[in-house]
Amino acid sequence: MTSRNERVWRKAKIFELLTYGMSQRQIASGLQCSVGTVNVVVKSLKREAFEEHKKYIVNDLAFELKKIRAGIEENQRFAKQIMLDSKKDDRTRMMAVSLSNETYKIAAELSDATASIDISAASKEITSIKNDLDKLELKEEEKKENGIDV
């Protein structure tokens, strides 16, 4: 039985070696552990990454877009105030017109970019990927049970 510190170190090391393009067999050989151990760690890393991305897409992305839109609207209100303020000089009012035009362009670009982002569709896609990973995991387990090296 390995200690928690050893497992944490092994997990970090396996991830590092994967980023260098090493195969699971090479990693197992280098760390002097079984390919099965490396495989279990890799599955764990994939699940963690999946959960992190799912959380971001479902929870954080929509909120970030809302904050961006609110900032754009605030800039547009501010620019409009300056444009309508007769006490401001012409140069300042023209700069406000320019600011307003830029924020409208940004708002349009954001709308175009987010129109193709459907949060519920992204969430469904993530669920589909998870199901595919689960099926792959079952196939790998069946291969192991049948004595086929994975």
The predicted pLDDT at position 35 comes to: 93
Report the distance separating Cα 132 and Cα 13, nearest Å. Answer: 26
Which residue is associated with the tokens 């501010």? 78
The confidence band for 1, taking pLDDT boundaries of 50, 70 and 90, is low
- Determine the residue type at 66: K
Q: Is the pLDDT of residue 150 over 60?
A: no
Other C-beta atoms lying within 10 Å of the C-beta of residue 149: 8
pLDDT score for 4: 87
pLDDT for res 88:
84
Confidence of residue 54 (pLDDT cuts 50, 70, 90): confident
* Whole-angstrom distance, CA of residue 31 vs CA of residue 150: 18
At residue 100, the pLDDT reads 83
Q: What is the mean pLDDT of residues 136-142?
A: 70
pLDDT number for residue 123: 61
Q: What is the pLDDT of residue 42?
A: 93
Measured between alpha carbons, how far is 35 from 46 in angstroms, rounded to an integer? 16
pLDDT, the chain, mean: 81
Q: What is the pLDDT of residue 117?
A: 61
97-129 pLDDT per residue, tens:
888 888 888 888 777 766 666 656 666 666 666
